[in-house]
Each structure stands twice: as structure tokens, then as C-alpha cells.
Amino acid sequence: MEKLFFIEIGMGCDLHGQDITKAAVRAVQNAIHHNSMPGLRSLLPDGSLDQMKVRVKLAVPCDRELLDLEKVKAVLPYGQVTVEVQDGGMVTTSGIVLPDKDDKNDLIYIVNASVEVGC
């Protein structure tokens, strides 16, 4: 990425079910759901959103090998998306196990995301 236009930060969690992908998807959605970039096309080569580069950085607390990067990328509708994963985030307790929510235990998975957009 030669030019960085903006960075958005998000947090997502899976309260029940211990699904690291669900928490990561929610973190990326949280990062991008409160912005609009109407002038971005004027900054991109040929005005094409396909030229936009999107770099996602995820801080995940566990189950890294279960993280479905394609589901995370699917949250972002435009651009050339790359995802970097690092240790971080948090695991905490919900205080309850709900079998009807597919809980394996009482843990909450929390993921942090940084979404960088540029060209």
C-alpha cells in the first residue's frame, strides 16, 4: 500500500459458542459500519474501487487455526483485501454455559480489528 487514506478500529465478540471467526467478522463489521467514503474514488487510479487496497489486522486470543479468513474477507465488499493475524484480543468468562447456543464452555472470545484503506 503506497498511500494510506484511513484506518478504522473495531472490536467484536462471540458471547456464546466460542467461534473465533464470528468474533473476527464482528470486529471488522464494527470497524467499517460507521463510515462513508464518497470521495475515495477520486483518489484511486481510474476511479475504480477494484484498485483500492484493504489491509485487515486481527488480534485474536486463541483458536487461530480455526479462523476462516475467507469469511472475514467477505465482509469487505470492494478492493484487494489482505488479512494479517496476530496474538491479542481477550478471552473472558460469560459466567454461564448455554447448550442451546452451542457453548462448549463459558468463555467469550474478543477480537480487535484494524482496517486500513489506501492504494
pLDDT at 98: 96
> CA dihedral in degrees (31, 69, 112, 75; nearest 10)?
20
Q: 116: which 3 cell numbers?
A: 486500513
| Cα 70 to Cα 76: distance, rounded to the nearest angstrom | 10
| Cα 45 to Cα 51: distance, rounded to the nearest angstrom | 6
Q: Pick out the chain residues at pLDDT < 70.
A: none
pLDDT at 60: 98
pLDDT at 92: 98
pLDDT at 35: 84
pLDDT at 39: 85
Domain that holds residue 87: 4-118
What is the domain count for the chain?
1
The CATH number given to whatever domain includes residue 14 is: 3.30.1330.20
pLDDT at 103: 95
| Cα 100 to Cα 63: distance, rounded to the nearest angstrom | 21
Q: 112: which 3 cell numbers?
A: 480487535
**Exposure b/e, 73-112, CB count within 10 A at least 16 = b:** bebbeebebebebeeebbeeeeeeeeeeeebeeebbbbbb
What is the per-residue pLDDT across 23-52, written as a single tens digit (0 to 9) for each?
999 999 999 998 888 888 888 888 888 889
**What is the distance, to the nearest Å, from the Cα of residue 16 to the centroid of all Cα atoms in its chain?**
18
pLDDT at 49: 87
How far CA 118 is from CA of 6, 60, 67, 84, in Å, comes to 7, 24, 25, 16
